[in-house]
Structure 1
Amino acid sequence: MPKLVVYNSMSLDGYFTDAKGDMSWAHKQDPEWQAFVAENARGGGQLLFGRITYDLMASFWPTPLAMQSNPTIAERMNNLRKYVFSTTMDQASWRNTTLFKGDLATEVRKLKQKPGPDIVIMGSGSLVAQLAEAGLIDEYQIVLNPLVVGSGRTLFEGVKRKLPMKLAKSRAFGNGNVVLFYEPVDQLLG
């Protein structure tokens, strides 16, 4: 059964987007970091998005610019199975995407019961908060960026209970990024 994994960048002051919703500060172009990102993208998987992140991803990855600037990641992003949760979308046109309009936790529980590769959430802070609150996330991969953005959105906005974590591993990069791999200590029965 697949694990549900969160992969998100975060500033030193705890924001995953700045006050304008921008995440471009998290994208670094140095060779060591790009090699890690490309290697991470080579693994199998499925992607889970909220509408805002889906719209951003779908507007970039299928483009010639994406294929030219980062062909390995573009190929993976375009070919992986994708799920988007939205109450406002009528259809999802990006290749291999299924649109869900039902209850988020219920649908994710069903996805986690089906055989298949892990499901990864990128961005999509409101989904992360709801699924964390429901005890459905199995691993958090947080990229801590050496930058203070001043204000923005936190990844766990709206979570009403404590979520104890244990550090499973970490990796530091020359650009100052540190990837922290956390696992929840106690899960609700999901």
Structure 2
Amino acid sequence: MRKLILHIAISLDGKIARLNGDVDWLDAIPHKEGVDYGFYEMYNSIDTTIQGNKTYQKVLSWDVPFPYKDKENYVFTTNSELKNNEDVSFIAKDHIQFVKDLKQKNGKDIWLIGGGQINALLLKANLIDELQIFIMPIVIPEGIPLFGELSYDQQFELSATESYESGVVGLVYKPRA
């Protein structure tokens, strides 16, 4: 079965973006050339991405070519009027069942890009198999939390850590059985 991997950067206070969705704060983190915080390895281990529509719209606002053209891309939304395009397929209903079915298909792993609402939805459904979280040495006063709203505790087991000269700390967690 394919794994659903959440590979994401967060601030020290657990934010994935500013309230308007901007991730400009990531540019403030010192970045040693050649250090990608495991992104290249993760990206090569997947053939599919899932993201929320707000995240997708933010990616489009960057005024760069769509960055995941070499992958199968799904955008979760509640707007059934959105039409698929050459880069993404919009999924407007049965999100949980869609992910369950997707994980059963042959292929590489699946990258859950975010944002906070979809992260919480899939976490509540116990569909996230691995959390690859990179804590950036910055505090954002107001922002979008990693997991939106959760109504109960969920525990994880730490399976790996790595610290970087930049002050970034990488943590890999798996759900506790």
Shorter-chain TM-score: what band? 0.7 to 0.9
* 1:30 corresponding residue in structure 2: 32
| Equivalent-residue separation in structure 1 for 2:4 and 2:132 (angstroms) | 11
User: C-alpha offsets along residues 63-99 of structure 1, whole Å, 9 cap, x if unaligned?
Assistant: 2xx8xxxxxxx4xx2111111111225113242x222
CA contact (8 A) 1:18 1:153 kept: yes
Alignment of 1:143-162 (within 5 A): 143-162=134-153
* 1:70 corresponding residue in structure 2: none
CA contact (8 A) 2:45 2:108 kept: no
Which consecutive unaligned segments of at least 5 residues does structure 1 have?
67-73
* 1:69 corresponding residue in structure 2: none
Deviation (angstroms), 1:169: 0.3
Question: More deviation in 106-115 or 26-35?
Answer: 26-35
CA contact (8 A) 1:33 1:175 kept: no
| Equivalent-residue separation in structure 1 for 2:37 and 2:9 (angstroms) | 17
* 1:165 corresponding residue in structure 2: 156
Deviation (angstroms), 1:148: 0.8
| Equivalent-residue separation in structure 2 for 1:31 and 1:94 (angstroms) | 33
User: C-alpha offsets along residues 98-133 of structure 1, whole Å, 9 cap, x if unaligned?
Assistant: 221112111111111111111111132111101101
* 1:185 corresponding residue in structure 2: 176
Specify whether residues 164 and 35 from structure 1 end up closer, same or farther in structure 2 by C-alpha distance, changes over 3 A only: closer
* 1:3 corresponding residue in structure 2: 3
**CA RMSD, 1 decimal:** 2.1
Alignment of 1:43-122 (within 5 A): 43-60=45-62, 63=65, 74=67, 77-88=68-79, 89-95=81-87, 97-122=88-113
Which consecutive unaligned segments of at least 5 residues does structure 2 have?
none
| Equivalent-residue separation in structure 1 for 2:140 and 2:75 (angstroms) | 28
| Equivalent-residue separation in structure 1 for 2:76 and 2:7 (angstroms) | 17
Q: Percent identity?
A: 29
| Equivalent-residue separation in structure 1 for 2:163 and 2:104 (angstroms) | 34
SS at match of 1:79: coil
| Equivalent-residue separation in structure 1 for 2:17 and 2:147 (angstroms) | 12
| Equivalent-residue separation in structure 1 for 2:89 and 2:160 (angstroms) | 32
Structure 2-normalised TM-score? 0.87
| Equivalent-residue separation in structure 1 for 2:37 and 2:145 (angstroms) | 27
* More helix by percentage: 1
Alignment of 1:14-29 (within 5 A): 14-27=14-27, 29=31
Q: How many residues align?
A: 174
* More strand by percentage: 2
